[in-house]
């Protein structure tokens, strides 16, 4: 029996035949339904511009659902219930007339949740049409990323939405905030006094955040080439992770308390400009190489590519936070496509003991590390130093884990997809896991100054072979400070 009760609502997915909706949103809604987390009266509306019959489109949604939900989770009864809730309506998002028909489909009870899985350019028009159809008052809007391309364009999108919706009914998605282990960062930090006293520049030497993907760009070249890895990943996912690691304890768990603390971190980020650009940031672009032993093309050889593009598919950088807690503690961020494995991981490196008494050749291995693995194999491990066993080992040290692997420790508990949690929280009216307008804007202004620096300097991305950990200069970025990327990978 579910512990959480959720009120009935109507959830309308705009862009219901798009990749995100088919791959992520409908499977997540199905899983919520299967877990008894949707109210019996909740309705799901698929809205799309594509021509064709409603039956054909509903059939296509079901086909994708069967493909993207693990076979073991496809239960006939749950599936039938889910499909009974779902209806389809053809809607031209820019035309007001269709919204009258939409309003007729929305029952008087419960809020309307309007999920915009469309290009941000049409968010404003959808909001205006919802308002004209008399729906705005009872609607929560969910905005997918990317919200804009830079500070100015993100303001345009946010302002267009704000004309009709107050901030407390706007839910901006960063799906990393819905991941189980990201949620756990809050519990780890603020429910364990053990860490809080250590969580500052007195005890921590540096922090690494790696978000690596094995895939290349494939079918998304058109979108990705206009964005690049800095806008696509750093501006949102990696900066959000940095904020959760670096923020001060909020006074409570309310959305605004947490978001106020995150904004303080973003405001304290030192801009990377001038000479620092060359030493603190590395842009890369993958060239042909190997993935799982198979040859794969370079970024400039993918289908429908522009062979002269200088868009980056990899970024490594050193970020510094100018406040008491983090002064002198670099945060090394690294993210790229076509890396050797899919891996999202945060490593907190603790400082060495003040006086070292063991064998000098072991000194480099010394130091506690807290490794927080977001994916795959979600878990947390604290690397501690112990003595190697055996009479012949003397005082030879060994670094071993105190480990918490979520799937092994709690075998029966399924780790939900980020979208399941996020959709559930929108239905509950909880904005904790959603990004406030000022957070997005501070993140954009920090990234904008970096991009402007690249443009001024004409900095071209450094090549790296597909299947490698990025350009050599990303290694130099951290070794220059006498450190190395955490070697367990
Ligand atoms: C998206 C980016 O936000 O996150 C994609 O646009 C990226 O380029 C994806 O592949 C990664 O998400 P995850 O959950 O697979 O790590």
The closest-lying atom of ligand 1 relative to the alpha carbon of residue 176 is 14
Q: What is the pLDDT of residues 412-456, one digit of tens each?
A: 678 889 999 999 999 999 999 999 999 999 999 999 999 999 999
Catalytic residues: 237
What is the per-residue pLDDT for 488? 46
What is the per-residue pLDDT for 3? 58
The string of DSSP codes covering 317-369 is EEE-B-STTTTT--EEEEEESS-SS-EEEEEEEEPPPSS--S-GGGGGG-S-E
CATH of domain 10-144: 3.40.50.720
Residue nearest to atom 13 of ligand 1 (CA): 176
Count of Cβ atoms closer than 10 Å to residue 67 Cβ: 11
What is the per-residue pLDDT for 489? 43
Q: Is the CB of 208 under 6 A from ligand 1?
A: no
User: pLDDT at residue 1 above 50?
Assistant: no
How much is the average pLDDT of 138-151?
95
Ligand 1 centroid distance, CA of 419 (Å): 12
Query: What does the chain come to in residues?
Result: 489
Q: Is the CB of 378 under 6 A from ligand 1?
A: no
Whether residue 460 contacts residue 309, with contact meaning beta carbons closer than 8 Å, is answered with no
pLDDT tier at 4, thresholds 50, 70, 90 = low
Ligand 1 centroid distance, CA of 54 (Å): 30
Q: How many CA atoms lie within 13 A of 200 on its CB side?
A: 10
User: pLDDT at residue 264 above 90?
Assistant: yes
Count of Cβ atoms closer than 10 Å to residue 416 Cβ: 17
Query: How do the domains of the chain map onto residue ranges?
Result: 10-144, 177-479
Fold for the domain defined by 177-479: Dihydrodipicolinate Reductase; domain 2 (3.30.360)
Q: What is the pLDDT of residues 382-402, one digit of tens each?
A: 888 888 888 787 888 888 888
Q: What is the pLDDT of residues 204-255, one digit of tens each?
A: 999 999 999 999 987 788 889 999 999 999 999 999 999 999 999 999 999 9
The pTM of this model reads: 0.94
Orientation of helix 54-68 relative to helix 26-34, angle to 10°: 70
For β-strands 289-291 and 294-296, DSSP reports them as antiparallel
């Amino acid at each position: 029996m579910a512990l959480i009760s959720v009120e009935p609502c109507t959830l309308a997915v705009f862009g219901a035949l798009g990749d995100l909706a088919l791959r992520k949103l409908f499977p997540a809604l199905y899983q919520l339904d299967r877990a008894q987390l949707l109210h019996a009266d909740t309705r799901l509306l698929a809205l799309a511009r594509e021509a064709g019959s409603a039956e054909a489109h509903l059939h296509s949604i079901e086909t994708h659902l069967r493909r993207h939900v693990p076979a073991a989770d496809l239960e006939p009864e749950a599936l039938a219930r889910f499909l009974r809730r779902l209806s389809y309506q053809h809607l031209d998002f820019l035309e007001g007339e269709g919204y009258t028909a939409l309003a007729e489909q929305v029952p008087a009870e419960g809020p309307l949740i309007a999920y915009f899985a469309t290009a941000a350019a049409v968010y404003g028009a959808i909001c205006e049409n919802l308002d004209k159809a008399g729906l705005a008052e009872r609607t929560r809007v969910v905005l997918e990323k990317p919200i804009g391309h830079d500070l100015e364009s993100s303001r345009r999108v946010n302002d267009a939405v704000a004309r009709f919706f107050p901030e407390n009914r706007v839910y901006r998605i960063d799906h990393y905030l819905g991941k189980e282990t990201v949620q756990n960062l809050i519990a780890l930090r603020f429910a364990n006094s053990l860490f809080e006293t250590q969580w500052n520049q007195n005890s921590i030497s540096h922090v690494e955040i790696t978000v690596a993907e094995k895939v290349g760009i494939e079918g998304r070249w058109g979108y990705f080439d206009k964005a690049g890895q800095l806008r696509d990943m750093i501006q949102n996912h990696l900066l959000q992770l940095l904020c959760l690691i670096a923020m001060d304890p909020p006074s409570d768990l309310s959305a605004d308390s947490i978001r106020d603390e995150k904004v303080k971190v973003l405001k304290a980020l030192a801009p990377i400009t001038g000479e620092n650009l060359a030493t603190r940031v590395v842009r890369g672009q993958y060239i042909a190489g190997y993935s799982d032993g198979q040859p794969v093309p370079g970024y400039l050889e993918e289908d429908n590519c522009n062979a002269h593009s200088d868009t980056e598919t990899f970024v490594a950088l050193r970020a510094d936070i100018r406040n008491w807690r983090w002064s002198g503690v670099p945060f090394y961020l690294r993210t790229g496509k076509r890396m050797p494995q899919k891996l999202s991981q945060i490593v907190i490196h603790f400082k060495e003991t003040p006086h070292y008494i063991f064998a000098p050749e072991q000194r480099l291995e010394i130091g506690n590390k807290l490794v927080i693995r977001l994916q795959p194999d979600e878990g947390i491990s604290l690397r501690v130093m112990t003595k190697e066993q055996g009479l012949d080992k003397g005082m030879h040290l060994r670094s071993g884990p105190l480990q918490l692997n979520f799937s092994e420790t709690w075998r029966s508990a399924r780790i939900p997809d980020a979208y399941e949690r996020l959709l559930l929280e929108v239905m509950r009216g909880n904005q904790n896991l959603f990004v406030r307008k000022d957070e997005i804007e501070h993140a954009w202004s920090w990234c904008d100054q970096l991009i402007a620096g690249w443009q001024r300097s004409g900095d071209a991305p450094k090549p790296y072979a597909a299947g490698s950990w990025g350009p050599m200069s990303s290694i130099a970025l951290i070794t220059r400070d006498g450190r190395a990327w955490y070697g367990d990978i």
